[in-house]
Amino acid sequence: MGQACEGRVVIVTGSGRGIGRAHALEFARQGASVVVNDLGAEVDGSGSGTGPAGEVVEEIRAMGGKAVANGEDVSDWEGAQKLVNTAIESFGKLDVVVNNAGILRDRMIINMTDAEWDAVIRVHLRSTFAMTRWAATYWREQTKAGIEVDARVINTASSSGIYGNVGQANYGAAKAGIASFTIIASQELARYGATVNAIAPVALTRMTENLGIFSHEEDPAKFDPFAPENVSPLVVWLGSAASKGITGRVFDVYGGHIDVAEGWHAGPGADIQDRWKVEDLDKVIPSLVAKAKKNADTMGNIPE
C-alpha cells in the first residue's frame, strides 16, 4: 500500500470494470477512500446492475481500504449530484473526481441514428459536465467558508477525439468536447483550488476488445502493454497533492508510454489587412495548407 493519496476522497465513475476498476483499485492502494460508481450497463449503455461496483468495493476492503458502491446514472443531472453527495456523506469530503464512465455505439456517419449520437454524447460529455459542475459547487462552498481546497478533476478523452478515428463520429465528438471542456474548466476552477486534466488512454477493455489492434498473445510472465492497469498510475498521480502545479493538460497514456497531447494552435497564416477576394484564395489557401503540418494519425503521430 502506498501513500500518494493518503486521506483523499475519490469518486471514479464507471469503475466496475476495465480502466475505471483499475483506477479505483490503485487509488485505494495509495490510501484514498473510494466511491466506486457504476451503472452496471452493457458496452452500448443498455441494461444495468449493481454487481460490478460491489465487487470492486469488496476487493478494496479485502486489501484493507475504504470504499462504497454507488449505482447512480452520472449522465443524469440529479444522479450526478447524488453521487457527489454520497462521497461527502460517506467520507466527510470530496477531493478528486475521475470522469471515466462511457459507452460505445460505433457507426459510420451515413448509418448512424440520432439516438446513437445522443446516447454517446450524453454518457460521455454530459456526465463529465454534470459531475464537474456539482463537484465544483461543493469546492466553491468550501472556499467561501475559508477552507483550503486542493481538489482534482481527471477527465477521460480519447485519441479518437483529439486525433480522429473512422466510425466513431459520436464518440470522437464527445471526447474532443471533453478535451476542450478540460481546458476551459481548468481556467474556471483554479479560483476554487481545483486542477482539471484529462487522459487519452489506450487499453484492452470491453469497449476495445473487438478492435484488431489489440490482438496479441497474453503471457503472464511478460509486460502486457494493453493492460488497463497501465493507465492508472498517471491518473492516481494527477489525483494526488504532487500534481498541484499541473492543470489544463491532456495526456496520451498506454503501456509504459506517456506524452502531453498538444492541442490546436495557429499554424501558417496570411494577413493582407483588408477583406479577401474569393479569387485570391485560389492560391493562398493551398499554399498555407502545404506549409502546415499534416493532421496527426490515430496515435497522435504527425505523418512525414
Residues serving a catalytic function are: 158, 171, 175
User: Computed from CA positions of residues 283, 284, 289, 292, in that sequence, does the dihedral angle turn out positive or negative?
Assistant: positive
- Cα angle at 164 between 163 and 169, to 5 degrees? 145
Percentages helix, strand, coil for the chain (3-state, rounded to 5) are 45, 15, 40
Q: Distance between CA atoms of 16 and 18, rounded to whole angstroms?
A: 7
Helices 169-189 and 114-121 pack at an angle, to 10 degrees, of 30
Tell me the CB-side half-sphere exposure of residue 66, using CA atoms within 13 A.
14
> Which sign does the torsion angle of CA 198, 204, 207, 213 carry?
positive
How many other C-beta atoms are found inside a 10 Å radius of the C-beta of residue 76? 16
Reference 94, options 155, 125, 140; nearest CA is 140
